[in-house]
Structure 1
Amino acid sequence: MKRFSFVLALMAAISLIALLSAPAAAEHNYVGVKGCKMCHMAADKGAQYKSWEASKHAKAYETLGTDQAKEVAKAKGIANPQEAAECLKCHVTGYGSDASMFESTYTKEEGVGCESCHGAGKDYKNVTIMKDVEKAKANGLIIPSEEVCKKCHNEESPTFKAFDYKARVAEIAHPRPQK
């Protein structure tokens, strides 16, 4: 029995060492909308930047400074919604990530930028990578899904309204034109 216990403990220790020495999931840096804008502004490419710029996502951080947001925050015991984690987690791209993950081109004032839905872009924004969607995904690109949207569009939000994924995605659609 002692031998069995020893072997079991040894296997557990080896498993723990293997787990701890395994490489962590790659973390990619945020570049902000300026890093996306240069390739996603032209009409022949779909003008995705202009679609985002006109969206509520682009104004997400700004809305936290409105009187309405301050009233909602006050009711929740929050003094300043533009500084509160409970608000910033859904109104600012990458909120809660380590400061080292943000390039100098990023600003929180962008609100919910490209990388909130598509993943931190430093490693996939290069045109040679973006031409191959599988390579882009391997470098951090996320193809948004209902699950991605519902990280913020859910009952935890104090201003939540029923979320119809298909209808809302149609409102913010910004596809690349097919050639």
Structure 2
Amino acid sequence: MNECVYLKVYQNGLRAAYRQQRFPWWLQLSGEVAGENVRCAKTIQQGRWEMRMMVRLLIVGMIWFWGGLLAAAPASAGEYVGSKSCSACHEEEYATFMKYSKKAHSWDKVEKMLPKLEPEEQQSCFGCHTTGYKKGGFVSYDKTPQFADVGCETCHGPGKEHVAGDGDPELITRTPTITTCSHCHNAQRVKDFNYKPLLHSGAH
């Protein structure tokens, strides 16, 4: 039976109140309950349908909200430790990298370009010319100068667990693949700048 759960009660042509009470569906046709003029505002079926829709919208809203937060939130800042931390165990590799690799001094070129670029354009540079931008690493030169160049962790991944694990090689990317390089050295950039991805361009 399709019953009415909300009745609009009218007095002298004006709505006076809602009556939250179940009434048989036929009262919608008669329009009278104990001499009062009423109209059915919501049936049980309508109420259930609205409840289901509200639950679905709530679930979708929660997924959207938390999904947005997770997508926007950077990785923990502690995941990146900076190239200098690598030098404690990899002294020779670090010295060679700093001396011969252009990546190790990428901020020099970025710094020269910044005055000519809009903020949005600057951010597009940071993604490939710094370490860990929007991933818990580079924020700005003033706040995180240790991540201002393309450091060891750009190719080998965040080093916190590796360092904390006494240099456990399973906790770091020992040998980067060409896929790692092509994130920045993609076809368009190779064409524009002729910077071809080289697995051993880090000079070690």
* TM-score using structure 1 length: 0.56
Q: Is the contact made by 2:177 and 2:199 (CA closer than 8 Å) also made in structure 1?
A: no
Q: Which residue of 2 aligns with 1:4?
A: none
1:132 Cα offset (Å):
4.4
Unaligned runs of 5+ in 2: 1-54
- CA shift digits 1:131-150 (9 cap, x unpaired): 342xx14xxx4742111111
Q: What residue in structure 1 maps to residue 105 of structure 2?
A: 59
Which has more strand, going by share of residues? 2
Whether the 8 Å contact between 2:77 and 2:135 is mirrored in structure 1 is no
Question: Matches of residues 94-109 of structure 1 in structure 2 within 5 Å?
Answer: 94-98=132-136, 107-108=145-146
For residue 193 of structure 2, the aligned residue among 126, 139, 160 is: 160
Larger Rg: 2
Tell me: higher relative CO, structure 1 or 2? Use CA pairs within 8 A at least 6 residues apart.
1
TM superposition score normalised by structure 2: 0.51
Q: Runs of 5+ in structure 1 lacking a partner? A: 1-9, 42-46, 175-179
% identity of equivalent residues: 30
1:1-179 aligned at under 5 Å gives the runs 27=76, 29=78, 30-41=80-91, 47-53=92-98, 54-65=100-111, 78-79=116-117, 84-98=122-136, 107-108=145-146, 110-126=148-164, 128=166, 130-133=167-170, 136-137=171-172, 141=173, 143-154=175-186, 155-156=188-189, 159-161=192-194, 163=196, 165=197, 168-174=198-204
CA offsets 1:85-136 (integer angstroms, 9 cap, x no match): 01111111011235799xxx952564000111111211221353x2342xx1
How many residues are paired up? Answer: 149
